[in-house]
Amino acid sequence: IVAGRASTAKGDDAKAPADISRIVGRAASATDADIEAAYASALDYQPHWNAIGGAKRADILEAMANAMDHDTDRLIAILAREGGKTLDDCIAEVREAVDFCRYYAVEAEAKFKGLEALPGPAGETNCLELMGRGVFVCISPWNFPLAIFTGQIAAALAAGNSVLAKPAEQTPLIAALAVGLMREAGVPETALQLLPGDGSVGAALTRDARVQGVAFTGATETALLIRRAMADHLDPTAPLIAETGGLNAMIVDSTALPEQAVRDILASSFQSAGQRCSALRCLYLQEDVAKPITEMLFGAMDDLQPGDPWDLATDTGPVIDAEAQGTIRAHVDAARAEGRVLKELPAPATGTFTGPTVIAVPGIAAMAREIFGPVLHVATFKARDLGRVIDAINATGYGLTFGLHSRIDDRVQEVMERLRAGNAYVNRNQIGAVVGSQPFG
């Protein structure tokens, strides 16, 4: 959708992960001509969008929130069908998208309030420093195709930038609906362009010298490629805001309440079919309590219901596509061949499902990369080795989320002071950062 005009190309089929024989829509990839037209439109309008002021932009962002509120049912339907999300996750995602719009509306009004009215050159300089840079490229992931897509765009628009939005190639339909709602709310056609497609579209967008900033959520490897392209082609001051993968750990010591720990392990590992960058990947159990907690965890897993995300009884839906399914299955198969699979649930035969699985590992250092699905790795530790466990977690190079279950206050304090992670959770699950309370990307 460039300058308000949608492509009439037939496009490619979008299929439901829960039933890949089902076509849920079609999407046309942006061409080079589309990208060039989008740049021209965004560059031409950005000074006007910048000049309308923070208060007016805040009003439009509030209207975006209201528009999504009013169209919640349709948003939920597409999230479930195209993204394979359970209904609980769909509802939470719509709420998060709405929260992003309202959060950045408040930020826009607060940051720019009164600055436009400051007299003289000093006031003008302050305005320019705090307002839009120019054209921002926003590249969002498929696992939160509405919330993160909306959050990136809302932030960039709030600051006075025009936006070129590139949704994940697996989830263009929800992005198209979201852009339509944003337009209805008052976002000018030339301030926001939608450019769906595969990685080649994102690569073309992020190496163009006219870009003044990039927001990206996705794989770490892709973020590094974007950073390299920006260094080669963009203004050195153009920011890259990147939120990438996680190799997230949780430590459960012998004082933890087992029922509470198991509840939170289950949610952190298997909700959203494990397809959250904040999901629990490596669980450390103090060996004194490892046996009863794993027995309780396996029993709780038996109550999980994989299946069609449109069914209210479903706890875990499919993974996003056949490529993701193949990667996860290969990892589980390799662990099974080594006798390390401790628990595995059967998966539905239709669609791109993988059953929730628990695999034994000696520690987080044995995990070379993030497995983005419903796979939990479990290690044990002796109480005296807690410091070594924290050192191993810090040494991975990841620092997204962390969980700790303990009822010893001094231990909580010690672990939190030594740990290097962006969001750390004590005695609760470690997914679902709250807009306005916890910075996430």
Give the strand pairing for 248-252 and 280-286.
Answer: parallel
CA dist 357 → 269, 351, 368 (Å): 9, 18, 18
Q: What is the dihedral of CA 263, 268, 273, 279, to 10 degrees?
A: -170
Catalytic residue among 243, 259, 344, 370: 243
Look up residue 146 and give its two tokens: 């509405």
Query: How far is Cα 30 from Cα 166, in angstroms, rounded to an integer?
Result: 9
Catalytic residue among 101, 127, 138, 277: 277
Residue 243 is among the residues annotated as catalytic for this protein = yes
Query: How far is Cα 421 from Cα 22, in angstroms, rounded to an integer?
Result: 41
Phi and psi, residue 404, nearest 5°: -140, 130
Q: Are 62 and 179 in contact (CB under 8 A)?
A: no
Which residue in this structure is represented by tokens 């852009």?
Answer: 179
Other beta carbons within 10 angstroms of residue 115's beta carbon come to 17
Look up residue 243 and give its two tokens: 């939120």
Q: How many CA atoms lie within 13 A of 11 on its CB side?
A: 21
List residues with catalytic annotation.
Answer: 243, 277
